[in-house]
Amino acid sequence: MIGEYVTFQLDKCTGCAHCVKACPTRAIRIRSLKAVHHPDLCIGCGECLRVCPEGVIQSNVESRFPLDPDKTNAAIISPVLYSQFPDTMPCDVLRAVKEMGFDHVVDLSFHLEMFQFAVEGFIAQNRETRQAPFPLISPICPVVIRLIALKHPTLLDNILPIRRPAVMIADDVRKKLQSIHNITASEIEIFHITPCPSKALSQEMVLKDEIGSVDRTIGINAVYPELCKHVENIREMELDIYDTDPFANIPNARGPMWSKSGGEINPLRDEGMLSVSGLQEIRRCLEKIEMGVFDEMNYIELRVCPQGCLGGPLTAVDRHMAKQTVQKLVRTFGVNRRLPPYKLQRLYDRGWFFANIRPSDLTGYYPDQRQALTIDQMQEIENLLSLLPGIDCAVCGAPDCRTFAEDVVRGRARRSDCFRLREIDNGKEGDT
Amino acid sequence: MAALKKSFQLKSRDFMHAGEASISVQNMLKQIGIEPALIRRVAICAYEGEMNAVTHGENGNFRIEVNTDKIILDISDEGPGIEDIEKAMEKGFSTATEEYREMGFGAGMGLPNMETNSDRMDIESEKGQGTRVVMRFSLSPGSRKNET
Ligand SMILES: Nc1ncnc2c1ncn2[C@@H]1O[C@H](COP(=O)(O)OP(=O)(O)OP(=O)(O)O)[C@@H](O)[C@H]1O
Ligand code: SF4
Ligand code: SF4
Ligand SMILES: [Mg+2]
């Protein structure tokens, strides 16, 4: 069973159906003028909360975060956070987070570089034999992974079986903290500050072996107001290059670059790579991968959010502004490689990068809740469709006419929910 | 016997929309619970067939029929036809122009891929008359290509 990524506060719901139309997996309907959510189909993309005009829908990523003073609190920072503060050095953003009361703030740059090393290594190892199914699909965006599990299960094998950087780092940090402070794992609380509603349930992140890697997730938009104040103060201070936190290793622009579409593959030297962002584009791209259109490609970066993670629903500033900030950071700080390849190679050979569980094990993760239709039912849907207005008005409570027809055939909606069918059916009664 | 039929008109050289018929076929097969590996084979054939009709043919027509025991893809067009079918079937043979090659077509792999991914493929074509490619996929388990 999948946990829930979003919560609906129905007292405020007006039944406007904006969310119904926005949901890519058609997991929402309107019934009796209120939204009805089907969590078993939800992939946590957050499209619904972007469009709701009444603020009914909340991400289950936390917005309040009282820190437990008895614990060692560490915050892993999504690189998107740097894009939210124009003209601010990434290390100052990290300091500002620390001012909020965290004992440690953790930057991802090195782990991004490690991940990228592993991508190149995996491709080099499998390119000739084409043993692994190509094109490989990036494992980074959890929403994409869930979309694949739900709609394109044959592509699960194409997902690169390398652990995501945030997961590698969470495990690393927990071990390091235990030895530095001489404490037990349970005395540590690891936070992830993120733009991404799909991280709502850290214990159910993407692959099962990620369970427990992060304890709590917080939305960037939740910390933003307080952070702004700290950033302001720090900007007023004298330049201080001697940071004290061992985890806040001076970030370069690899992180900020990563947060925008293409940033995962751009630092790599491989011609056979593509990057795609935005839900519609991704859905099209997955269909094409399934039809063999991209068989010659090596690797495809897919991010469900428009322009990449910096367009995530839980960000605080306009995504075009954020992109601008990223470009400046890239110009100023660069994305140099800083880790010795031979050491990375040693880790790779030891299997350190690999997830214990193959993504294909996710097949059982979304036991398709909807029973397959029979051929007769499918024909019935086509017949019904020819009667429907075809304008996808959503007044019936379904996102489009086809889905409504399917709901009727499955016994989940009544013909009379559609104004046109109501007219037709009433007309018939009149005749007899 | 239950049968599901659908057809699509294809517009020649409309590369913005080329592939849409195959996508809706893919989605339809998913809804009726066809085994994913088979869907993938049908999808590859549908796409290559659709692309051939769009690139090489005129007034393409794309039909799919799903019965309880088989799926039939029937793609026809009124284009120039194929002069030498045997030759066209060879891996790497293509008459695609430079312009199409730049768009990523013209590897000469379409027909060979359709052949390998379908259980049976029949081509009828006459020069100047058009082309019709019919592909069949067996739905009963155990009746795969090599056994029939
Ligand atoms: N519907 C058609 N009408 C006319 N000629 C066709 C048709 N389908 C295929 N052909 C001919 O057969 C050749 C081989 O087709 P095939 O699909 O194998 O390769 P291609 O379409 O040229 O390239 P690719 O499919 O790899 O992009 C084509 O180049 C063309 O000359
Ligand atoms: S989070 Fe995405 S998948 Fe889930 S209900 Fe909202 S729009 Fe649908
Ligand atoms: S694109 Fe990034 S922020 Fe958006 S859902 Fe995917 S991982 Fe999360
Ligand atoms: Mg072709």
The Cα-based distances of A137 to A23, A159, A274, A284, A332 in angstroms read 23, 5, 10, 14, 30
The Cα-based distances of A188 to A72, A99, A168 in angstroms read 5, 18, 16
Residue ranges lining ligand 3, Cβ < 6 Å: A 141-143, 195-196, 198, 303-305, 309, 312
The set of residues, in sequence order, having a beta carbon less than 8 Å from that of B67 and lying 6+ positions away, is: A375, B1, B2, B3, B139
Q: What is the DSSP string of A306-347?
A: TTSGGG-TT-SS-HHHHHHHHHHHHHHH-----S-HHHHHHH
How far does Cα A51 stand from its chain's mean position? 17
Answer yes or no: do B30 and A378 touch at CB < 8 A. no
Q: How confident is the model at residue A357 (pLDDT cuts 50, 70, 90)?
A: low
Domains of chain A with bracketed CATH = 1-60 (3.30.70.20), 72-364 (no CATH), 373-432 (1.10.15)
Residue type at A17 in one-letter notation: A
Tokens encoding B124: 């009828």
Task: Kindly provide the b/e burial profile for residues A95-131, where b requires at least 16 CB atoms within 10 angstroms of the residue's own CB.
Answer: bbbbbbebbbbbbbbbbbbbbbbbbbbbbeeeeeeee
Q: What are A285-314's pLDDT values in tens digits?
A: 999 999 999 988 999 999 999 999 999 999
Which pLDDT does position A364 carry in this prediction?
62
- Please give the mean pLDDT across all residues of chain A: 89
Q: Is residue B22 part of a domain?
A: yes
- Interface predicted TM-score of the whole assembly (ipTM), two decimals: 0.83
d(CA A207, CA A38): 22
Task: Kindly provide the b/e burial profile for residues B134-147, where b requires at least 16 CB atoms within 10 angstroms of the residue's own CB.
Answer: bbbbbbeeeeeeee
The lowest-confidence range among A2-6, B10-14, B97-101 is A2-6
Q: How confident is the model at residue A369 (pLDDT cuts 50, 70, 90)?
A: low
Q: What are A326-348's pLDDT values in tens digits?
A: 999 999 999 989 999 999 999 99
Q: Does B40 touch chain A (CB under 8 A)?
A: yes
Nearest Cα to Cα of residue B108 among B96, B120, B123 = B96
* B127 CA from centroid of ligand 1 (Å): 14
d(CA A364, CA A1): 10
Answer yes or no: do A153 and B66 touch at CB < 8 A. no
Q: What are A237-283's pLDDT values in tens digits?
A: 888 777 667 777 678 899 999 999 999 999 998 989 999 999 999 99
Residue A49 DSSP class: H
Place of tokens 């409309």: B14
Residue ranges lining ligand 2, Cβ < 6 Å: A 5-6, 22-23, 25, 27-28, 37, 42-48
Comparing CB atoms, the residue among B3, B44, B113 nearest residue A375 is B3
d(CA B121, CA B115): 6
Q: What are A37-82's pLDDT values in tens digits?
A: 998 888 889 999 999 999 999 998 878 778 999 999 999 999 999 9
Chain A residues with CB within 8 Å of chain B CB:
151, 153-154, 284, 287-288, 290-293, 371-376, 378-379, 382, 406
**Residues A313, A59: contact at Cβ < 8 Å?**
yes
Per-residue pLDDT averaged across A118-132, rounded?
89
Task: Kindly provide the b/e burial profile for residues A145-166, where b requires at least 16 CB atoms within 10 angstroms of the residue's own CB.
Answer: bbbbbbbbbbbbebbbbbbbbb
CA angle A4, A9, A10 (to 5 degrees): 115
Rg (CA), chain B: 15
State yes or no: pLDDT of A33 exceeds 50: yes
Closest-CA residue, ligand 2 atom 2, reads: A45
Q: Is residue B68 part of a domain?
A: yes
The Cα-based distances of A386 to A113, A201, B61 in angstroms read 54, 42, 20
Q: Is residue B148 part of a domain?
A: no
d(CA A106, CA A174): 11
- Which chain A positions have a beta carbon within 8 Å of B37's beta carbon? 154
Structurally, how many domains does chain B consist of?
1
The set of residues, in sequence order, having a beta carbon less than 8 Å from that of A331 and lying 6+ positions away, is: none
The lowest-confidence range among A11-20, B31-40, B62-71 is B31-40
**Residues B93, B32: contact at Cβ < 8 Å?**
no
Q: Is residue B18 part of a domain?
A: yes
| CATH value at residue B59 | 3.30.565.10
Which pLDDT does position A205 carry in this prediction?
43
Find the domain containing B117 and state its range.
4-143
Task: Pick from A287, A289, A366 the residue to mutate for testing the B interface (most B CBs within 10 Å).
Answer: A287
Say how many residues make up chain A. Answer: 432
Q: Is the CB of B94 under 6 A from ligand 1?
A: yes
Place of tokens 């370069």: A252
Per-residue pLDDT averaged across B16-28, rounded?
93
d(CA B136, CA B118): 6
